[in-house]
A and B are shown apart, each in its own frame.
Chain A
Amino acid sequence: MEILVCAKRVPDTSENEIELNGDGDIDRDELVYSVNEADNYAVEEALEIVERTGGTVTVVTVGGDEDEEILRREMAMGARQAVLLSDDAFNGSDGRGIAAILAAFVKKGHYELILTGVQADDGAGQVGGMLAAMLDCPFASLVTSIEVLGGGKLKISREIEGGNKEINEIDLPCVLSIQTGINEPRYVGMRGIRQVASVPIPTLGKADLGVNGYAGEAAARVKRMDYFVPPAGKGAEMLTGSQDEVIAKLIDLLKAKGGLQ
């Protein structure tokens, strides 16, 4: 099966405290970036499907030169190919614009299965569902397992509320958004990254893809105006002092609130 995985480079929230600068934007100078967590699970899932049933894995991202690093990382994991979709005309696209760029790329290939992450850390959990609608193929979100049934079908499980799971059958070609925890992504060492350091990564732009009018800033219907620090709400009472003092206060509170049996 030919599988396409859409991946995005995002500031890694487990590595960073997100700080704002004076202009209502995120201070990006010291941010550590990495591949979006759910997308890494999606690549691992694609690799495992191909190991079981044959095929190839291609990873694609819409972005700029700086985003190549995540494509190389996913190639080091085992993806056969990676493609960068990049053009000044793509700047300022909203989720619909990104989905339209990806849809134009998908239509140039023969992918049977397209995987995205459930949600990007800075995103909205929208690109996968929009992409499927543009391609007129079935979609399922929050996927937590995939079994290839043959006959052009998959059996999938989806996460629903309360930790329950929903089992579905879905026809290929389809788009699935992959939830974190679906597998155990393999480790990528520096050596693996070095091995793919000079593999060329093709870059395709607007003219190569024939993207429709949804891409780019002028077509965006949804725009972020600024970032701001959310109101403090009621706010916690902060316990301060030496560690011994803090612990003594905490133990008193735990006793009073029924936390110590």
Chain B
Amino acid sequence: MPRIFAYIVHKAGVADDSAAELLAAAAKIDAAQSPTAVVTGHGADLDAVCQSLCASFREVWRIGNESLAYPNAELVRKALAAVVPAGSILLVPHAHFGTDLSPGLSIKLNAAYVPDVLDIESAGGGALKMVRQEFGGQVSAHVRCDISSGAVINIRPGAFKPAASPPAGGQVIDQSARVGVLTCGRRYLQTVAAETGDVDIKKYPALVSIGRGIQEQDNVSIAQELADAMGAAVSCSRPVVDAKWMEKSRQVGSSGQTVKPKVYMACGISGSFQHLAGIQGSPFIVAINKNPKAPIFRVADVGIVADLLEFLPELTSKIRGK
């Protein structure tokens, strides 16, 4: 089996939770091998991350460079292309940074690329058999990846359960000298924090959350009336914000808010992983959807197959009547 590397995402000197998930994924490819962590960054933060990773990785490759202090994928890609040996398997967390970095990196490494992998079912014969999802999670697919020239594999956050492992007693190996001067045609200027809206959906114990199934802007009031009757707030999925029917501050998901209500009512929301990523703290999830096969029913506690435009007003009037 080729050598396995894990790209470590980190912030303020602390490795992301995904580091342990990449270890779990690596074990499914080759349990006999201890994968190597690769870390890019600069200064004391980088040193702190590398040190902490020695507890779980036997080798930690440190790539330090002033220009890598902020993770600009264009520069990180160049650094990794210079350092990661041809033919290796590189695991990367499939989040915003990984989707920016990996497709181009696979070309520069002349490696295969498979994004958003949920499971690795078998490895051998120069190939990996993996599981992905398509069409917003409505169907899964088995994918065969030829790894004879190496592979970059992006791992779905939360899909691989980290296992407790004995201390690795690893060592840091500095690879910075192999990188040289890094320049690129895309320069980071600043980060703008998410806008706060009129309603802070994080503060409500219950959310009536609407998705594309609400169909038009005029119908948003149906959800608002239910929320008012419940003492809840209305939140939503991304298409509702894309269509400008609600403010961005109401969006739940990986590119929106993270919420921890007691009760989450998903109304006309299919249940994509980017949406579910914003629901934390295991609330009681009620799913209302007209499609009995909608993926949301796999994660909800209670499901109701109904047309929400009919069901929600009835529910509102019954709650008001009590």
Contact = CB atoms under 8 A, between A and B. Distances in A.
A210 interface: no
A43 interface: no
Interface string A158-186: 11111111111111001000001100100
B179 interface: no
A232 to B, nearest CB: 6
A221 interface: yes
Given A132-B104, A169-B189, A228-B142, A237 B303 contact: yes
Contacts, number: 260
B89 interface: no
B141 to A, nearest CB: 5
Nearest to B298: A233
A163 B139 contact: no
Interface of B, helix, strand, loop or mixed by DSSP = mixed
A160 B96 contact: yes
Q: Pick the most buried of A184, A229, A261: most chain B CB atoms within 10 A of its CB.
A: A261
Contact of A163 (B256, B265, B284): B256
Nearest to B114: A222
Contacts of A233: 298-299
B198 interface: no
Interface in B129-178: 129, 132-146, 149, 151
Interface stretch (B17-25, B45-53, B55-63, B180-188): B180-188
A256 to B, nearest CB: 9
A233 B100 CA distance: 30
Interface stretch (A53-61, A139-147, A198-206): A139-147
A170 B189 contact: no
A238 interface: yes
A125 B113 CA distance: 11
A96 B173 CA distance: 33
Interface stretch (A10-18, A69-77, A84-92, A105-113): A10-18
Interface of B: 73-74, 77, 95-97, 99-100, 102-108, 112-116, 129, 132-146, 149, 151, 184-195, 205-206, 212, 230-232, 238-239, 241-242, 244, 248-249, 251, 254-258, 262-263, 265, 270, 284-287, 291, 293, 295, 297-306, 311, 314-315, 318-319, 322
Interface of A: 11, 13-14, 17-18, 20, 26, 95-96, 99, 118, 121-122, 124-130, 132-134, 137-142, 155, 157-171, 174, 180-181, 184, 221-230, 232-239, 243, 246-248, 250-251, 253-254, 257-261
Given A142-B255, A169-B189, A259-B206, 16 more contacts: A130-B106, A133-B107, A138-B184, A165-B194, A221-B145, A221-B149, A223-B144, A224-B143, A230-B133, A233-B298, A236-B299, A237-B302, A247-B315, A258-B284, A259-B232, A260-B319
26 contacts: A17-B293, A121-B134, A124-B114, A129-B100, A139-B104, A140-B186, A159-B96, A159-B255, A160-B255, A171-B185, A174-B186, A221-B151, A224-B143, A227-B139, A227-B140, A228-B142, A230-B137, A230-B140, A235-B297, A237-B303, A239-B303, A243-B306, A246-B304, A251-B315, A254-B230, A258-B284
